[in-house]
Amino acid sequence: MIVRSAEMVYHLVAMAIKQASQSHLPAEGESQIDTFKKSEVRKVFHEKEWWFSVKDVLEALVDTPDGNRYSRDLRSRDHGLKGRWAEITRTLPFGTNGGTQEMTFINIEGIFRIIQSVPSKRAEPFKRWLAKVGFERLQEIHDPELAVKRAIALYKAKGYDEEWIEARLRNRASRLLLTSEWEKQGVVNYIGILTDAISTETFDKTTTQLKEYKGLKKTQSLRDNMTPIELTLTTLGEQATHEIIKSTTPNGVQGHVQIARQGGRIAGSARKNIERATSKPVVSSENYLTPRQRKLNAEKNQEFTSIVTKFLNRP
């Protein structure tokens, strides 16, 4: 079963996500302004989560000109909401042009509680907007394995089989660790060049050439269309590159390019050995799943996907 098989790579991927994400966590008290359609919504990062201005949330939800007054009226009508108000809100400072002001902010749980009390056609779009501005991302930072479980459910629903999903998860882990290392080394702006250096030595093709070879559009993911062996070799090249970086002192971008080529050559040597043993090329011009395969696999695993989806969405 895919969940049991994937458990062997859960912690690897979760650790990679956590390591790659730690430097991107907002600082305590950091404030930002997001836009929901034409409404500005102020938010503050507090106690490891985003808290949103109650006034702004209500004005965005119900088109009221006075969110504070609407908030008072709402609590006077909904005694359950009033009873939990202190639990789901905080008074926090927010910097404005006129200086720092103390304002009432509400967390994600509180917003969904408000939505239960506010009959608004904008509720569903607002929920999607919350996810877009970082709710799910923060959940995954706090619980990296949640990101892994979501990925498995998504790939399974698309029709990928167990072998491919396991190879893709390992690949995601190696990619996250390598890009995080490149970021620490100050060469993150050259990821495309460095990735092509690995790819060229591994497959004798750049990533663009591989996509063209497979007939993919620019917007389609190359790795989501690789075969398990292509993914495994890509992972080997990236892991080798990561290990060499940690054992040496790369000198600037060119030094990192040379190391990327070294890592790619290790994977390229493995590819050539496989091709000699099997008498056939590793790189396939075919995408991993045809539309028919996706449909058949999705039908076979419909029950599984339903179970996993319920599991991921449970409280």
Distance (Å, whole) CA 109 – CA 89: 10
Query: Does the pLDDT value for residue 105 go beyond 90?
Result: yes
Distance (Å, whole) CA 59 – CA 66: 7
Q: How much is the mean pLDDT over the chain?
A: 79
Query: Does the pLDDT value for residue 81 go beyond 80?
Result: yes
Q: What does the pLDDT read at residue 189?
A: 86
Q: Which residue has the higher pLDDT, 143 or 67?
A: 67
Q: What is the mean pLDDT of residues 50-71?
A: 89
pLDDT in tens, 240-262: 999 999 999 888 999 999 999 99
Q: What is the mean pLDDT of residues 166-194?
A: 89
pTM to 2 decimals? Answer: 0.55
What percentage of the chain has pLDDT greater than the value 90? 34
Strand ranges of the sheet holding 49-53, from the earlier edge strand across to the other edge: 31-36, 39-46, 49-53, 99-106, 89-96
What percentage of the chain has pLDDT greater than the value 70? 73
Of the candidates 140, 156, 149, the one whose C-alpha atom is nearest the C-alpha of residue 17 is 140
Q: What does the pLDDT read at residue 5?
A: 40
Q: How confident is the model at residue 314 (pLDDT cuts 50, 70, 90)?
A: very low
